[in-house]
């Protein structure tokens, strides 16, 4: 110990050591600075699907491929077509990426969408059940269930009461809202449950069924394809429903982008151009 240290009272030396220790401890325990507003914005933006889509260069689109005029996968050529197929491609183009289609089924639509895709399209109806697991875009179409039959029989099957009669053969695909509607509204009639939705209308033309009740948009497309068949009051359907696109739950930024794109598409002719080959 030096002479100078001997001159410093012991209580001062102890206080100095204590102060230095306290200072070092305080510096080590200082809370990190709160994130700035800019960093919060950056985190929110990176969480949006918009970022992962542009980074990957792909918009992954879930669709069933069995519901014309909205979505169809040709079993021979493996080519996709349909109103919503064209619209999905246009959405991808607006993001400067490629659309990649992922085939699913109506049964597996929701789990496939939440695990594999950025968006789901193809005549998807809005329902409260689906709304618990996904966002929706703005409605792409307002419609409802309406009959289609041979043109000569339009006046015979233009009300639920007329169709709900013994001897009237209502054909419907197995599963889905068409079968549910037939079961609920035509208990007195004969319900024919048919497996192949792509060939179901041939049964009416061949005389093996009298009428089918389905979405008004589908009846318009079928009437355009088959002159023998007529859509029965498609502008005044039996009930009300809407179609839209499924979007990731909680992603407000992506939903806002899709809604803005959809609004512009409805007014600049994009949607009408996609519909024209199917509705005429």
CATH of domain 45-140+244-279: 3.40.190.10
d(CA 103, CA 62): 6
Cα Rg, the chain, nearest whole Å: 31
d(CA 22, CA 30): 12
pTM above 0.75, yes or no: no
Q: Are strands 190-194 and 169-173 parallel, antiparallel or unpaired?
A: parallel
Domain ranges, ordered by start, for the chain: 45-140+244-279, 143-231
One fold for 45-140+244-279 and 143-231? yes
d(CA 159, CA 251): 42
Q: What is the pLDDT of residues 36-93, one digit of tens each?
A: 444 444 444 447 999 999 999 999 999 999 889 999 999 999 999 999 999 999 999 9
**Residue that wins the pLDDT comparison between 205 and 180:** 205
CATH 3.40.190.10 describes domain 143-231: yes
Q: What value does the mean pLDDT of the chain take?
A: 87
Cβ neighbours, 10 Å, residue 232: 26
Q: Taking 50 as the threshold, does the pLDDT of residue 10 lie above it?
A: no
Asked if residue 233 lies in contact with residue 209, where contact means CB atoms within 8 angstroms, the answer is no
Q: Taking 80 as the threshold, does the pLDDT of residue 26 lie above it?
A: no
Question: Would you give the DSSP letter of residue 131?
Answer: H
């Amino acid at each position: 110990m030096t002479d100078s240290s001997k001159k410093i009272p012991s209580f001062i030396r102890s206080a100095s050591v204590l102060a230095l220790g306290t200072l070092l401890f305080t510096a080590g325990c200082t809370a990190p600075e709160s994130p700035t507003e800019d960093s919060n914005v950056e985190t929110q933006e990176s969480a949006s699907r918009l970022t992962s889509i542009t980074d990957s260069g792909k918009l992954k689109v879930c669709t069933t491929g069995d519901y014309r005029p909205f979505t169809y996968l040709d079993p021979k050529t493996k080519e996709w077509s349909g109103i919503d197929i064209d619209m999905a491609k246009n959405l991808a183009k607006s993001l400067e990426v490629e659309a990649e289609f992922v085939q699913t089924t109506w049964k597996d639509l929701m789990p496939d969408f939440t695990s594999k895709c950025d968006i789901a399209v193809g005549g998807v109806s809005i329902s409260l059940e689906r709304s618990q697991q996904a966002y929706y875009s703005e409605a792409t179409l307002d419609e409802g269930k309406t009959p289609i039959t041979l043109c000569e029989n339009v006046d015979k099957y233009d009300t639920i009461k007329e169709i709900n009669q013994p001897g009237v053969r209502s054909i419907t695909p197995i599963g889905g809202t068409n079968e549910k509607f037939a079961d609920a509204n035509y208990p007195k009639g004969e319900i024919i449950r048919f497996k192949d939705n792509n060939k179901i209308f041939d049964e009416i033309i061949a005389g093996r069924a009298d009428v089918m009740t389905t979405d008004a948009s589908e009846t318009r497309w079928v009437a355009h394809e088959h002159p023998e068949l007529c859509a029965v009051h498609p502008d005044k359907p039996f009930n009300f429903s809407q179609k839209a696109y499924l979007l990731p739950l909680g992603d407000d930024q992506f939903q806002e982008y899709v809604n803005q794109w959809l609004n512009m598409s409805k007014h600049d002719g994009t949607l009408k151009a996609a519909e024209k080959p199917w509705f005429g």
